[in-house]
Amino acid sequence: MNNPQDIRKAISTEFRRFEEAYSLALQSKDSLLSQVLDYIHSKRGKQLRPILVLLSAALCRGVTDKSIQTAVALELMHTASLVHDDVVDDSPLRRGSEAIHPVWTNKIAVLVGDYLLTIVMHILAELRNVTILNIVSDMGTALTAGELLQLHSGESMWISEAQYNKVIEQKTACLFAACSEAGAASTGATQRQMTAMKQFGLHLGMCFQLKDDVLDFSDIEDIGKPTMNDIRDGKATLPILISLQRAPKEEAAHIREIAEALASKSEHIDPFVAEQEIKSFVLRYDGIRYAHQEMEKHRKKAIAALSIFPDNKYKESLITLLNCAINRMK
């Protein structure tokens, strides 16, 4: 993200309240749990999701105490999903540092993720807001379904573009959609406003994941995880899927063979050479350009969703957040 501080300016006071509440939620009297939670807190990211909750609330009817607690709940749920994801994917890094499970163990990581989810349940119970509860519950269901769909698809890397879109909508975009819709709901917004904010968050989330997929083919080393990570994990993303559709059959078959060998950690290939060949292939058939074109479609839909709201600093900050998600370099 280029300037997350600039995006937060419109809600600076509210964001400080969120940070205090989030820090409080990550406290524990248990020694081991406290260590892990402190580690999680020290490695927190840009916290785009709580920013989205608060900006959405501000745009509708103003940030309330429920908005702050909703932001905490959704950030904790996001954090829990990352802790679990890293175990499932056996990812050693998260945000440029060691993930939880290499520092402690898989069992501890899973249990800490579960603990975070119980905190989410407590917060939602205290909110006494059925609308927000339903939004978060539906998002959790979609998130898990997306993970399972990707794992099932992982039996064959080569999914269709429609399957790919379904996976990223459920794995990534649904959380952004829940943040913006729940932020609106925390203020007592109208159904029209909540629907508009949900659509904004959905298309923002699609842009965010598409950009992640583009960055995975870059030569940038400081994006918070190794490049070509998806291919090594046996996950084919949009840039390579589209390139395979456009390439001659023999060349496409050759790239599939290399990618599958890389994913299986075959000793018969040089990983660096294989990665460079795949990157060159994707560039040659404009897979990156196609992903950028899809991002632009989602960007326009996201901005259109905000058209029902008057122009103000909160709307401007949401559009800045959208553009930064697309233009970020890590």
Q: Which tens digits make up the pLDDT trace of 106-130?
A: 898 899 899 999 999 999 999 999 9
Residue % of the chain over a pLDDT of 90:
65
Q: Which tens digits make up the pLDDT trace of 171-198?
A: 899 999 999 999 999 999 999 999 999 9
- The pLDDT assigned to 85 comes to 82
Q: The dihedral of CA 322, 39, 151, 119: what is its sign?
A: negative
Residue type, 325: A
Q: What are phi and psi of 93, to 5 degrees?
A: -120, 150
pTM metric for this prediction: 0.91
Contact 79, 42 (CB under 8 A): no
Residues 306-329: b if buried by 16+ CB within 10 A, e if exposed: beebeeeebbebbbbbbbbbbebe
Residues 234, 226: Cα–Cα separation, whole Å: 14
Rounded average pLDDT over 47-74: 96
Rounded average pLDDT over 84-99: 78
Structure tokens of 323? 């553009």
Residues 71, 82: Cα–Cα separation, whole Å: 17
Residues 266, 234: Cα–Cα separation, whole Å: 13
Q: So where are the chain's domains?
A: 4-327
Question: Where is average pLDDT lowest: 26-35, 49-58, 227-236, 261-270?
Answer: 227-236
Contact 132, 70 (CB under 8 A): yes
Q: What are phi and psi of 328, to 5 degrees?
A: -60, 155
Residues 226, 230: Cα–Cα separation, whole Å: 9
| 3-class secondary-structure state, position 97 | strand
Rounded average pLDDT over 40-47: 84
Q: Kindly indicate the confidence band of residue 1, based on its pLDDT and cuts at 50, 70 and 90.
A: very low
pLDDT at 71 over 50: yes
Rounded average pLDDT over 65-75: 96
- The pLDDT assigned to 250 comes to 96
Question: Which residue has better confidence, 228 or 221?
Answer: 228
Residues 51, 324: Cα–Cα separation, whole Å: 13
Mean predicted lDDT score pLDDT of the chain: 90
Residues 183, 170: Cα–Cα separation, whole Å: 19
Rounded average pLDDT over 247-263: 94
CATH number of 4-327: 1.10.600.10
Q: What are phi and psi of 97, to 5 degrees?
A: -125, 170
Q: Kindly indicate the confidence band of residue 221, based on its pLDDT and cuts at 50, 70 and 90.
A: low
Q: Which tens digits make up the pLDDT trace of 281-306?
A: 999 999 999 999 999 999 999 999 99
pLDDT at 131 over 90: yes
Residues 281, 289: Cα–Cα separation, whole Å: 13
315 alpha carbon, distance to own chain's centre: 21
